[in-house]
Amino acid sequence: MGEDGSGGALHLLCLAANSGVPLFCRSSRGGAPTRQQLPFSVIGSLNGVHMFGQNLDVQLSSARTEDTTVVWRSFHGSITLIVLSSEEGVSELRLERLLQAVFGAMVLLVGLEELTNIRNVERLKKELRVPALSLCQASYCLIDSFLGDPELIGDLTQCVDCVIPPEGSLLQEALSGFAEAAGTAFVSLVVSGRVVAATEGWWRLGTPEAVLLPWMVGSLPLQAARDYPVYLPHGSPTVPHRLLTLTLLPGLQLCLLCGPRPPLSQLDPQMLERWWQPLLDPLRACLPLGPRALPEGTPLHTDILGLLLLHLELKRCLFTVEPWADREPSPEQRRRLLRNFYALVTATHFPPELGTLEKADDTAYHAQLPRACYLVLGCEEPGAGWRLVALQLGPRRLLLLLSPQSPTHGLRDLASRTLQALTPLL
C-alpha cells in the first residue's frame, strides 16, 4: 500500500504511434515535478518492444521489473502513452487510469483530429507544450497535475469531485436563474476544482469532460475572467466549445460551457451582482469546502481520518482527509492511503461498474459479490496499524481510513452507520 510515503519516481511518455517520435516526457518524484528525463535509448526500447508485440498481434499492456511498473496504452492507433512508476506496490489500475486521464486532457486541449491525423509532429509538440487556450504560466499544467500528489481523486475514480454546500438549494436556484439569463444550459460553481452546484445540463456531460473541466479550472492560476476553446473528449472531440470562467471569490469560480454566444462582455458586473451579490454569505461558506468537502457539523465518528464516498450511477464522489486534521498521518499520506486502497478494492474485490450490475437478474452471481472488505496496515493488535474499510451498498461505495484505535470487529458497523448518515448528501 505504500504507507511509508511515495518517494518513487513517475515518468510519462507520449509518442506518435507510427513514427515513435516523442511528443513529450513529463516526470515527478515524490509527487513533485522534476526535470529528470529518461534517456532516448530507454524511450526507444520501451516503444520498440510495444510495437514489436503489435506486429505479432500481441497486445503488451503492462510489465513489472524488480523496482518498476510499466503500463502501455495506444489511443486511436495514433498516440502511444507509456507510464513508468517506481513507487512500491503501485496498482496497474491506477496507472491505466492515469493514462486515460492524460489522453482525455490532450483531447480537451487540442482536439481529437490533431491527435489522430498528425500531419506535423513539431507543430503538435508546440501546441501541447504551450497551448494558447490554457493561459497558463507553466506548460503542461493540467497534465502535470495528474502526476503530482493531487487533492482530487476524479482522475482515479472517474467520478466528479464534489462538495456539499450548507445552503445548496439557494445556490442551485441562483445558478439555474443565471444560466437562463446567460443563455446556456451548462453552468457550474467550482471551488478548488470541486463542483459545488451545477445545472442539469452540466451534470449530463459525459466522462471524461465532466471530471476534466473542473479539474482544469482548479489547476489554473487565479484570474478574474477567462474565455477559451475546449474540446469535449466524449461529447464533441473535434468541434470546440467555449469555456467561460468568472471569479466570484478567490478560489470560487462560475463556469459556463457554451457556443459562440454569449460573449464574455455580456456577462457584465451588473449581471453578476444581480444574481450573486444577495448570496455573498452562502458563497463565502463554500470556500473552506475545498479540502473538507462536507459542511461544518457533519456528524463523523472520531476514528475517521479520511473518507471517499462514490455514487457510481451519478458518477460523483466526496473525498476528504480533513476530519481531525491535527492527528497522524499527514493529509498527504491519508490521500495516498485512500487512493491506493481504492485501486486495490476496485481491481480485486468490487467490479468497476458494480452500480450497473445491481440491475441484472442473476441473483446467484449477486450472492457471490463482496459487500465489504477491510485492511489493517501493520499488526492487528489494539492501537497499532491504520484501518481501511470499504462498503458497497447499491450504487454507493464508501471507503474509510480509520485510526489504529478502531477495533477491527466494529469496522463494518461503523462504515454502515457512516454510509447511512452520508446517503442523503450524495
Q: What's the pLDDT tens digit per position in 72-131?
A: 999 999 999 999 999 888 899 999 999 999 999 999 988 999 899 887 787 777 777 644
Cα 357 → chain centroid: 23
3 state SS for 42-68: HHHHHHHHHHHHHHCCCCCCEEECCCC
Whole-angstrom Cα distance, residue 268 to residue 275?
12
Q: Which residues of 45-77 are buried (b: 16+ CB within 10 A; e: fewer)?
A: ebbeebbeeeeeeeebeeeeeeeebbbbbbbee
Sheet holding 386-393, edge to edge: 160-161, 316-320, 304-311, 396-402, 386-393, 372-377
Which SS3 state, helix, strand or coil, does residue 234 take? coil
DSSP state of 422: H
Whole-angstrom Cα distance, residue 271 to residue 300?
40
DSSP output for 273-295: HHHHGGGHHHHHTTTTHHHH-S-
User: Roughly what angle, to the nearest 10 degrees, separates helices 92-110 and 209-219?
Assistant: 80
When the pLDDT of each residue in the chain is averaged and rounded to a whole number, the result is: 87
What number of H helices and E strands is found in the chain? 16, 17
Q: What's the pLDDT tens digit per position in 278-301?
A: 999 999 999 999 889 998 888 899
Output Rg (C-alpha) for the chain, integer angstroms.
Answer: 22
Percent of the chain with pLDDT over 90: 55
Q: Find the range with the poorest average confidence among 146-150, 162-166, 413-417.
A: 146-150
pTM above 0.75, yes or no: yes
Whole-angstrom Cα distance, residue 422 to residue 174?
25
Its sign, for the CA torsion 118, 123, 127, 132, is negative
- How long, in residues, is the chain? 426
Cell numbers describing residue 121: 509532429
Its sign, for the CA torsion 94, 99, 105, 111, is negative
Mean pLDDT of 296-314: 93
Give me the domains of the chain, ranges plus CATH numbers: 9-149 (3.30.450), 160-291 (3.30.450.30), 298-356+369-425 (3.30.450)
Distances (CA, A) of 396 to 59, 156, 165, 416: 34, 16, 20, 11
Whole-angstrom Cα distance, residue 8 to residue 85?
7
Looking at residue 380, its pLDDT comes to 59
Q: What's the pLDDT tens digit per position in 180-232?
A: 999 999 999 999 999 999 999 999 999 999 999 999 999 888 888 888 899 99
Looking at residue 133, its pLDDT comes to 41
Whole-angstrom Cα distance, residue 93 to residue 144?
19
Distances (CA, A) of 286 to 11, 50, 152, 179, 351: 36, 47, 16, 20, 34
